[in-house]
Structure 1
Amino acid sequence: MIPKFCRIFCLVFLIGDFHSSLSHFDNNRPKLLNSNINNGSIATLDDARHQASIRLVNKDVTFGEGHICSGSLISSRVVLTAGRCLFNSDTKTTRHPAELIVVLGSINRYQRTADTVISRITHIRYPSTFDMETMSDDIGLLFLSHEVPENHSTIRPIELNRKNIDINMMRGRVTGWELSKNGDLSQQLLVSNASIVNQTSCVTKVEGPHIRNGMICAKYNRIEGNLCQSDVGAPLVNAGKQIGLASWTADSCSTQSDHQLASYTDVAHHTKWIRTEMSDGNNTDSSVWGALGFLALSWFAFKDKQKLSFRF
């Protein structure tokens, strides 16, 4: 016979897993940083209904402080981001899904509203060919514990580009919570313009990892609203489709150049990998077991005539 207090503890834990999408307004958030800290324009929901904030659970005690990367919702329960966001560079190991949460539906990093969705992660994936040194195949997927409703008022998946990019005069827009020269992370989501640069031309100007197949080189104009350091995983969008995601920045924040070069992972180059991982039967929602456990433990509690009250 399972001790009564153990059943109650497990029940509370499973309810937390079963109901991992939270929504309420945070009236105790800290003083916000300068919204226009990097000279980028403040984004609107129309710019970024797909935008995701990827956070470390143990760092997000104060809501918003745990942000480590951006991402984009590409289906009702899958977020696309950079592979490096899923890799712990200190321990040289893959992060465990329990270390991460995803926040959707808000462009203010510190703010929770009735439309904010917070989800735990059931699985994470990145290619076996991902290399932290060369940044090759810097792409990853997070599988949410619950689906985002199709009719959600502030959240909508973005369509992925599946065709080779024509670099001639192509421009895109990137959205992210960016770093300033003094290392402060913007509290508001920022948007900036970028121009796709010929790969050959980019190679001669870039210091750091080499530009390889599967990467897109983009140039920002600092005067137009360049951001000091791109938010890793930040989506690069053109004509309503995501064409890339921020991988690494070529120039340091201290550079005096009028332009900054950055490398983006080419989404179209990884279409086959994305499709394969999203259709993998092993990526089933582990919260199903939480639901079953919830029902079983509820039955035990009912038999013991425990009067428990939980607010959902």
Structure 2
Amino acid sequence: QGIFGKSHICGGSLRDANYVITAAHCCDGSAASSLFVHLGGLDRTKLSQQINVATVEKHGQYSSSTIDYDYCLLKLASAAQTGNGVSTIPLATAAPADGAAAQLTGWGKTSGSSSALPTALQYATFTIVSQSRCNGKWSDVNTVTPRMICAENKAASGCNGDSGGPLVSGGKLVGIVSWGANGCPADTTVRPTVYADVANQNAWLSRNI
């Protein structure tokens, strides 16, 4: 699903009928009354449900400078209807293993030089990278903390509009698109894409607000 204000802002994941999980940097500075979510389908222009957001809650330890604790819960104003392209996703209770396959989906840009968003949902398969290896590739820029996991793909990366979206492995939500290299698509074997680690904050993400 997508999160919208006046236009597409970020991706998100439907935890249950009443809550969407996204990244804190997607919610930063946004009032609930200015946001809504679109759900249902693979065509961004033909999604079946539009639901207003009732409450926004960023993680209390979120840092906009380090992008640590990049978690946000959106409570929907009315319950989402599952079926017809809308489904919930279980949350990981353990981080995926180094080398595991994981899928990223989103309606973010397909080129950093373009202002247009794709109509069709985009997807790519990534490989999980160990935290120590990822930190080695990012240590000159930012620290990869225990609240982060990394994944790489030589020919694909997230882009503007993919933030907050799901990284899925083994049928569970393992990561939330957080930060990465400038430009897209980028060779993420050079600078892996960094995701908020769902398992690390499973209890916070599972609560009601």
Q: 1:171 to 1:251 in 2, by over 3 A?
A: farther
SS in 2 for 1:186: coil
Residue type at the aligned position of 2:14:
L
**Corresponding position of 1:72:** 13
Equivalent residue number for residue 152 of structure 2: 219
Within the candidate set 184, 196, 200, 1:265 is matched to 196
| Alignment partners' CA distance in 1, 2:185 and 2:80 | 40
Contact 2:22 2:73 in 1 (8 A): yes
Correspondence list, 1:93-132, <5 A: 95-112=30-47, 116-132=48-64
Q: Confirm whether residue 87 of structure 1 aligns to residue 20 of structure 2.
A: no
Contact 1:123–1:143 (CA<8 Å) still a contact in 2? yes
Q: Quick one: structure 1 residues 217 and 257, their matched pair in 2 at CA, closer, same or farther if it must change by over 3 Å?
A: closer
What is the correspondence of 1:1-312 to structure 2 with a 5 Å cutoff? 52-56=1-5, 59=6, 66-88=7-29, 95-112=30-47, 116-150=48-82, 152-167=83-98, 169-179=99-109, 180-183=111-114, 184-206=116-138, 208-222=141-155, 226-227=156-157, 229=159, 231-253=162-184, 260-276=191-207, 278=208, 283=209
Aligned length, in residue pairs = 205
Bigger radius of gyration, 1 or 2? 1
- CA separation of 1:101 and 1:227: change in aligned 2, threshold 3 A: same
Does structure 1 conserve the Cα–Cα contact (< 8 Å) formed by 2:105 and 2:123?
yes
2:143 maps to a residue whose letter is H
Structure 1: gaps of 5 or more residues = 1-51, 60-65, 89-94, 284-312
**Are the structure 2 counterparts of residues 254 and 69 from structure 1 closer, same or farther at C-alpha, using a change threshold of 3 Å?**
closer
Cα distance in 1, alignment partners of residues 153 and 188 from structure 2: 11
- 1:145-199 Cα offsets, whole Å, 9 max, x none, are 111234x2221101111124322x2110000112213133222110101111111
Q: Which amino acid aligns with 1:172?
A: A
Q: TM-score w.r.t. structure 2 length?
A: 0.90
For structure 2, the residue ranges without an aligned partner over 5 or more in a row are none
Higher strand share: 2
Offset from partner CA, 1:179-233 (integer Å, 9 cap, x none): 21313322211010111111111112125332111100111120xxx14626101
Q: Secondary structure at the match of 2:86?
A: coil
Cα distance in structure 1, aligned partners of 2:9 and 2:88: 21
AA at the equivalent of 2:41 = S
> Deviation digits for residues 68-96 of structure 1, max 9, x if unmatched?
100010101100000111113xxxxxx11
CA distance in 2, matches of 1:174, 1:74: 17
Q: Following the alignment from structure 2 to structure 1, what is the Cα–Cα distance between the partners of residues 17 and 75?
A: 10
Give % identity: 27
CA distance in 1, matches of 2:188, 2:166: 24
